[in-house]
Amino acid sequence: MKQFLAKSSVALFVTCMFSATALLASEPGQDEPHWGYEGVAGPEKWGSLKSGHKVCGEGERQSPIDIKPSQAVQGKTLDDIFVHYTDAPLNIVNNGHTIQVNSDGHSKAVIGGKEFSLVQFHFHEGSEHTVDGKRHPMELHLVHQSEVGELAVIGVFMDIGEPNEAIKTIFDNMPTQAGEQKIDDSIKINATDLLPDRRGYYHYLGSLTTPPCTQIVEWYVMKEPITISEAQHEQYRKLYKGTYRPTQELGKRKLLHK
Ligand SMILES: [Zn+2]
């Protein structure tokens, strides 16, 4: 089955399917202010675009951050991440800010000892987290929600190197217009193919990295990157470039690692 849906039906579909998808996709509707990554609606202005977005400017638990490995504390009680991701039919949205792949609800993960469902994953051009100030070419965010609504996001840096087959499937099917969605049951995606072999991570408590910047995210940023080819990076950059929020102060928060 192949479908190309109009903008309004994408928003409706996403909202009905997953509350977290609606929250995180931030598809601008009629009552949502426009936001972007530069200019008058850029990250410095997000906190003043709408009263509900104040935490973008004033919050003390914001994301992303610059990760300083020398300051990360070994988390002796941190659990391994266990993923049980399954093959899911391709369901991909261009939401005007990113390319987002929606899960079918069957992919699970145990993160921090709690069970989560994979809701969606999406990309940032220019990584959002940096390591000792270094920005990676891209970053993947795998967004998970627990039964009671907690959010855990696994961040994966994407460096230039060997091409990634799963990325090829996704990037070759990216809708080019904002608001466009593509569903194709004959194409399967398994998010396991987007994780590095070693699953060591940095962990801290943070926020959504897009408005409304809600401070409800347990972040798990993988130490080991995955790789994509230069051509795959360019393929994404034809749609989105520089889609990262500047790093925020760690402040009083602890950065742990495993
Ligand atoms: Zn993200």
Q: Partners of 156 in the beta sheet? A: 140
Q: Name the band, by pLDDT with cuts 50, 70 and 90, for residue 34.
A: confident
Catalytic residue among 122, 136, 144, 203: 122
Q: Is 122 a catalytic residue?
A: yes
Report pLDDT digits (tens) over 138-181.
999 999 999 999 999 999 999 999 999 999 999 999 999 999 99
| Cα gap 228→168, rounded to integer Å | 9
Report the pLDDT averaged over residues 213-219: 97
In the chain, which ranges are E strands? Answer: 2-5, 66-67, 73-74, 82-84, 88-94, 99-102, 108-111, 114-125, 130-131, 134-135, 138-145, 151-160, 181-189, 201-206, 217-222, 226-228, 256-257
Q: Is 141 a catalytic residue?
A: yes
The domains of the chain are located at 2-257
CA of 71 to the centre of ligand 1 (A): 24
Mean pLDDT of the chain: 90
Catalytic residue among 53, 124, 136, 203: 124
Q: Say whether pLDDT at 19 is over 60.
A: no
Single pTM value for the model: 0.89
In CATH, the architecture of 2-257 is Roll (3.10)
Q: Is 209 a catalytic residue?
A: yes
CA of 146 to the centre of ligand 1 (A): 18
Least confident of 20-34, 181-195, 239-253: 20-34
Query: Which protein residues have a CB closer than 5 Å to ligand 1 (ion)?
Result: 141
CA of 204 to the centre of ligand 1 (A): 15
CA of 3 to the centre of ligand 1 (A): 25
